[in-house]
Structure 1
């Protein structure tokens, strides 16, 4: 993991308490094991939005535990298209990093911050020490199960749903206003900006949305929900 910006710093007591509060499994570790890793094998990294933290094909240099902000984990194609797999927010784990460390293999995806982000970075040795303890190991494998369910749903959507359905689904669940660029939506869906722009124009002509700079107002959420479910919108 590389994080341009402020250099990594040792943990202070306030940051350690914040980490334990966000990741309750750490409270179940033996005190000595938890404190030794936090002292010897953990550092704090602060990175601005858009910072590349790791890349596919690299060896994993550490295990990130997010304190604030978010990390977007995605796979990229040679033509530049990118498909978002998931996001890591405070209290969540990165299964790409953990699978790399467990298997001693190269990373299979890239990770970039989507906003100003602060995280605790465990060294590979620190991650291995904690995963020897059942509470943390069970927590990591539980996260694998949750992410697997999410990735199965993503695979089903990519394989079986049309792009207009997936775009309609992506617009829902954010309230009546979606603040996102066409490129950000394209990245989320694993397509190119031009296709997203054409679909948004089609939705706008139908009266379902109105589009302005980095803002999409939902005018007919019911029609979008119907499209997302693969049903013809009501006339």
Structure 2
């Protein structure tokens, strides 16, 4: 793993051997269990984390105490907030939670700064990932401002279910995912169930009509 993890990240595989060796020797692989808070607001950023396995959920708490989901970091990706804080020498402003058991490469600030300065390939990797995630965040803002909640919930259920049929999440978790009140999620899910699109049980939502949800997710002017 120590000598092959670089090839798991598109862009890093083009690093010259000397830079690859510097990156490997100047970083370490860390493992954390599911549920671990990886970073928190006000915490100093000491390492850039590149995920090898698992997912990390990044969310922010509003002044009213409501938690708002920002994005997920998957295997083969880095965290844009960590990158931004590393570049700007600022502390974290959001929470990062391990949703699953996580394995990641921790690149210390000194190694990060050295490679950004001397390696065009590493620098391109960092800023390409940063740019891509910033675009995702603008899409999130657009969704929150302009998309109806039923459309967003249908899309998120399909995303969370993946190839399966069951989403393991409470109404409170889904409200965090979409930055709304739990009551709004409960009301919308009740309508989905009335239409035969989902069935609900404690902590789970079963997708019983994916096509119905997909039609809604594609709809610009849904009626629920």
Q: Which runs of 5+ in 1 are unaligned?
A: 1-14
Distance 1:36 1:137 in 2: 14
Contact 2:3 2:24 in 1 (8 A): no
Distance 2:204 2:147 in 1: 25
Two-structure CA RMSD over aligned residues (Å): 2.1
Alignment match, 1:68: 53
The verdict on how the C-alpha distance between 1:87 and 1:18 changes in structure 2, with shifts beyond 3 A counting, is farther
Alignment match, 1:6: none
Contact 1:56 1:109 in 2 (8 A): yes
Pair 1:213 & 2:205 matched: no
Contact 1:18 1:67 in 2 (8 A): no
Pair 1:180 & 2:165 matched: no
Distance 1:178 1:94 in 2: 27
TM-superposed CA distance for 1:222, in Å, is 3.6
Report how many residues are paired. 219
Pair 1:198 & 2:187 matched: yes
Question: More deviation in 111-120 or 75-84?
Answer: 75-84
Alignment match, 1:231: 221
Alignment match, 1:157: 143
2:76 counterpart (86, 91, 101): 91
Alignment match, 2:121: 135
The verdict on how the C-alpha distance between 1:42 and 1:176 changes in structure 2, with shifts beyond 3 A counting, is closer
Deviations along 1:4-25, one digit per CA (max 9) or x if unpaired, are xxxxxxxxxxx22231121243
Alignment match, 1:102: 87
Contact 2:80 2:134 in 1 (8 A): no
Pair 1:80 & 2:65 matched: yes
Distance 1:58 1:26 in 2: 28
TM-superposed CA distance for 1:123, in Å, is 0.6
Distance 1:140 1:113 in 2: 22
Deviations along 1:43-101, one digit per CA (max 9) or x if unpaired, are 22211111111112322111101111111112221333222222111111111111111
Distance 1:106 1:144 in 2: 17
Distance 2:163 2:14 in 1: 38
Pair 1:31 & 2:17 matched: yes
| TM-score, with structure 1 as normaliser | 0.84
Question: More deviation in 57-66 or 189-198?
Answer: 189-198
Contact 2:165 2:208 in 1 (8 A): no
Contact 2:45 2:86 in 1 (8 A): yes
Secondary structure of the structure 1 residue equivalent to 2:106: strand
